[in-house]
Amino acid sequence: MSAPTADDTTEHVFYAERPEWADVVPVVQYENIQPLAPIFYSPEYKDATDYFRGVVKIGEKSLRVLQLTETIIRLNPAHYSAWQYRYETLIAISAPLQPELVLSNTLTKASPKTYQVWHHRRLLLTALGDPAPELAFNEEVLKADAKNYHTWSHRQWLLAHFDQENLWADELPFIDGLLEDDVRNNSAWHHRFFVSFERGSNDDKDEAEAIVKRELAFAKEKIALAPNNSSAWNYLRGILDHSRVPYSTQAIFARQYIVDTVEPRGNDILDLENPPPSEGAELPCAAAIEFMADVHEASGNEGISEAVELWRSLADTHDTIRKRYWEYRIRNAVATTGKA
Amino acid sequence: MPRPTPIDAYPTKTSDLQIDTEDILQEQIPPDGGGRVLHKNAHLQFLVRNLAQGFPARYMSQDASQPWLMFWTLQAFSTLQIAIDPDNKQRAIDTIMHWQHPDGGFGGGPGQAAHLLATYASVCSLAIAGRPGPEGGWDQINRKKLYSWYMSLKQPDGSFIVSNCGEVDVRGIYCLLVVAHLLDIVTPELIDGTAAFIASCQTYEGGFSSASHPHFVDNVLSACRPSLGEAHGGYTFCALASWVLLRPYIPLDDDAPRVDTRRLLRWLVHMQGSEIELGGFKGRTNKLVDGCYSWWVGGAFALLEALGVSGVPESARASDETPPPRPGTHAEDGWDDVDDSLFNRRALQEYILIAGQHPAGGLRDKPPKNADAYHTAYCISGLSAAQHRVCPSPAWRAEVRAVWKGEDGVRAAAFSEALSWTEEAGASHVVGSAANRVNATHPLFNLTITHTEGIMAHFYKQSVPKRVPKRSP
Ligand SMILES: [Zn+2]
């Protein structure tokens, strides 16, 4: 059994003119009123949705309903009721779901920014129970838009829901590749955090420590490459907060980024734990100043005045748009030490 | 010219796009220092055209969002201080009531399935255009069925799916909570576990993601609930507003869910673009500024006030008396001395006025994009958030509570908390002439305070004390 598809290459025939639909009474959208703020629909869309309302009214779930809902979804992929009714119909008539997934590939690639296309896939994958080919498809969609929110949250759902070792296995190399393409892609950074720290089933303490070490090194290496990259700094902070490691452990690293110019490299052996800024770095780096201010603030009384000085430099020179915030940090820190 | 975003001699796709956008934004600045004029008439014409004549065919993709098109348009009118005439109000009510589903809730259009988002937009539109009595809309909302439909969407992790067979996300939860508060259908059963779900969506960056994934160990929900998607302005607004709405009902014990407000504040302020981006807001780290985040992110700062995070030093805050009139309310001089918000309110207004307005009317993401209904509404609401200071007033809460008729409990808390939000007199800052001023909106609901009071007083069967008329500045 296969569902007839709404083939968009042949000439469109209105549902009102199809004899096989003659038994369904179309339902117009608004009866007896002139709606405020109406939308001007194309005749094809109006015709199909009139029949859809007719079908919903009588509760018919049949093969031809799949054709009708496909017509609507192709014209308006955000029509969630058509998607929902389609899914219920697929289940009700026990339609094979694999061909539906294939159709969904096309529709997803055509409208990757629509909630419904992704949710439909989720329902299908859950019912089919086979996540293996989905990562490759997802990657293909990310190639066209590496920051698509839906694509990413779908990928993360897939990993968390099925939680299979073979699914997680290649995620880090995959992220490495994306960050090599664009080290400022925050979606890839978030995914890295998800993969490294949010996998529910990891209880091994030694392994957890090794991951923290690995990720700190990774973040610092990427900061060195392009220091004014908020994504990498947020990631560095995220690791430290998550693992409750004090920021001060990274002070030697961060200090290199708050100077005015890149210091010429001597012949000394490179400190691999604390990679210095690249030659092209534009210093001082506001994110590093903020980081160092946090280090000083956490060290208590004596540190506060150094922190205040750094916040002042952000407020007055290096990050003036956030002047109010930096002044708020100063007020708070001073008030806290005053009380202590 | 302000300093371009540093790219460290290491260009990537993100930085290329960023630099191009900065160039485009800088070109918008009028050379004479002018251009800070809100073109109210042009925007009104844009809105009236959509309302009366209808939306052009490209809006067909929003056929399942008809309540949103209505809400954006009506709310933009309200914020722009324009009342709708009785005939159009009645047409609005009649149209909206066609979206109510026989089994409860509202759909995206007639005959469409009920949906949490559509229900929010429908009910909020009714808050603006509706009234009590026959044909007024308010009393034709089937609250009983609405409540049982809400309960049918509830998930074991405290979240809600947006519709039958639909997805979970924090937008839906925000929409549900707003409607439940406006219509007096909040119960402990309805919101059980929801605050913990919201808290689980906060990411390492500080903002919130669309959802989290539940993780059950031996049928018990574990603490580890990975966030699906990165921190995002729209989801952050919805999560934070939900959190503020739920806060009165969260028990104060050690197991209570928590939100990290420090990290949240840090993330929010970092969403403001620098001077070269005209101070607009972006929705995610390393993405571009966009007018709609003027509300989603710019509007979030008022919500933080409810959590005790404020730019106003504690000594000067929450005085139970009316605050003394402050200098510089409308004068451009002295602005910096009286502006005590945590973000740059002046810059945000400039972004909206200079980059957000389309020359032909309506507002937009950024140039050279077209105006649309969504960006028009949220740019104007964002402008409102940047002009006014609206925060919870303990004094006003006490007054509302004093006239409450009935038992203490969830209903009384819902009512008095929601209506405790008050515009601080003398604390508004309007960039450009006084004619640029727009109405204040309720930070939780994005309705005017008047519309919020009207619909809540009706459904809770309470009266609201008369607010003292605002002193003229
Ligand atoms: Zn936008």
Ligand 1 centroid to residue A60 C-alpha, Å: 39
Task: Please state, rounded to an integer, the average pLDDT across all residues of chain B.
Answer: 93
What average pLDDT does the segment A9-29 reach?
Answer: 92
- Give B149's Cβ-side CA count (13 Å radius): 25
Give yes or no for residue A6 having a pLDDT over 70: no
Tell me which of B157, B169, B184, B290 is the catalytic residue.
Answer: B290
Per-residue confidence at A201, pLDDT binned at 50, 70, 90? low
What average pLDDT does the segment A307-331 reach?
Answer: 97
Task: Please state, rounded to an integer, the average pLDDT across all residues of chain A.
Answer: 93
CB B127 within 8 A of CB B455: yes
User: Which residues, 6+ apart, have CB-to-CB distance to A20 below 8 Å?
Assistant: A64
Question: For chain B, what's the residue count?
Answer: 473
Q: What is the pLDDT of residues A133-183, one digit of tens each?
A: 999 999 999 999 999 999 999 999 999 999 999 999 999 999 999 999 999
- For chain A, how many structural domains are there in total? 1
Q: What is the CATH number of the domain that holds A82?
A: 1.25.40
User: Smallest Cα–Cα separation from B438: which of B335, B357, B327, B339?
Assistant: B357
Q: What is the pLDDT of residues B366-383, one digit of tens each?
A: 999 999 999 999 999 999
Of A280-289, B132-141, B250-259, B453-462, the poorest mean pLDDT is in B250-259
Give yes or no for residue A2 having a pLDDT over 70: no
Establish if A68 belongs to a structural domain. yes
pLDDT of residue B75: 98
Specify the higher pLDDT residue, B446 or B326: B446
Give yes or no for residue A253 having a pLDDT over 50: yes
Chain A residue with the nearest C-alpha to that of B90: A36
Give yes or no for residue B156 having a pLDDT over 80: yes
Per-residue confidence at B334, pLDDT binned at 50, 70, 90? very low
Tell me which of B115, B225, B375, B397 is the catalytic residue.
Answer: B375
Which one of A27, A31, A34, A36 would you mutate to disrupt binding with B, by most B Cβ within 10 Å of its Cβ?
Answer: A36
Which one of A149, A154, A241, A321 would you mutate to disrupt binding with B, by most B Cβ within 10 Å of its Cβ?
Answer: A321
pLDDT of residue A4: 52
CB contact under 8 A, A36 and B204: no
What average pLDDT does the segment B31-37 reach?
Answer: 86
Taking the Cβ of residue B430 and every Cβ of chain A, the question of whether any pair is shorter than 8 Å is answered with no
Of A210-224, A254-268, B117-131, B306-320, the poorest mean pLDDT is in B306-320
CB contact under 8 A, A160 and B213: yes
Establish if A14 belongs to a structural domain. yes
CB contact under 8 A, A157 and B228: yes
Establish if A86 belongs to a structural domain. yes
As to burial, measured by CB atoms within 10 angstroms (0-12 exposed, 13-18 middle, 19+ buried), residue B144 is: exposed
CB contact under 8 A, A321 and B273: yes
CB contacts < 8 A (A, B):
248
Which one of A39, A126, A163, A289 would you mutate to disrupt binding with B, by most B Cβ within 10 Å of its Cβ?
Answer: A39
pLDDT of residue B469: 55
Establish if A23 belongs to a structural domain. yes
How far apart (Å, rounded) are the C-alpha atoms in residues A107 and A149? 17
Which pTM was predicted? 0.95
* Domain limits, chain B: 36-141, 153-258
Tell me which of B147, B293, B374, B378 is the catalytic residue.
Answer: B293
Give yes or no for residue B330 having a pLDDT over 80: no
Give yes or no for residue B473 having a pLDDT over 50: no
In angstroms, what CA-CA distances link B170 with A275, B160, B233? 40, 8, 12
The dihedral through the CA atoms of A180, A186, A192, A193 has a sign that is positive
CA distance A149 to chain B (A): 6
Tell me which of A113, A143, A147, A213 is the catalytic residue.
Answer: A113
pLDDT of residue B335: 53
What average pLDDT does the segment B344-359 reach?
Answer: 97
Give yes or no for residue B337 having a pLDDT over 50: no
pLDDT of residue B339: 65
How far apart (Å, rounded) are the C-alpha atoms in residues B107 and B67? 8
- Identity of residue B74: L
pLDDT of residue A7: 52
The 3 state secondary structure assigned to A33-44 is: CCCCCCECCCHH
pLDDT of residue A204: 81
CB A122 within 8 A of CB A157: yes
Give me the residues of B, 196-255, that contact A with CB < 8 A: 203-205, 209-211, 213, 215, 222, 224, 226-232
What average pLDDT does the segment B156-174 reach?
Answer: 97
Q: What is the pLDDT of residues B402-416, one digit of tens each?
A: 999 999 899 999 999
CA distance B464 to chain A (A): 31
What average pLDDT does the segment A271-275 reach?
Answer: 89
Per-residue confidence at B276, pLDDT binned at 50, 70, 90? very high
What average pLDDT does the segment B447-471 reach?
Answer: 89
pLDDT of residue A262: 80
pLDDT of residue B316: 64
Strands B390-392 and B421-423, sheet pairing:
antiparallel
User: Which residues, 6+ apart, have CB-to-CB distance to B397 below 8 Å?
Assistant: B416, B417, B419, B420
Q: B374 — phi, psi (to 5°)?
A: -60, -55
CA distance A119 to chain B (A): 6
Strands B211-212 and B390-392, sheet pairing:
unpaired
pLDDT of residue B315: 62
CA distance A45 to chain B (A): 9
Active site residue B372: yes
Question: Residue B11: its chain A contacts at CB < 8 A?
Answer: none
Establish if A199 belongs to a structural domain. no
- Give the largest CA-CA distance in chain B: 68
pLDDT of residue B299: 98
In angstroms, what CA-CA distances link A124 with A56, B137, B215? 22, 39, 21
- Give B104's Cβ-side CA count (13 Å radius): 16
Ligand 1 centroid to residue B293 C-alpha, Å: 6
CB B233 within 8 A of CB B293: yes
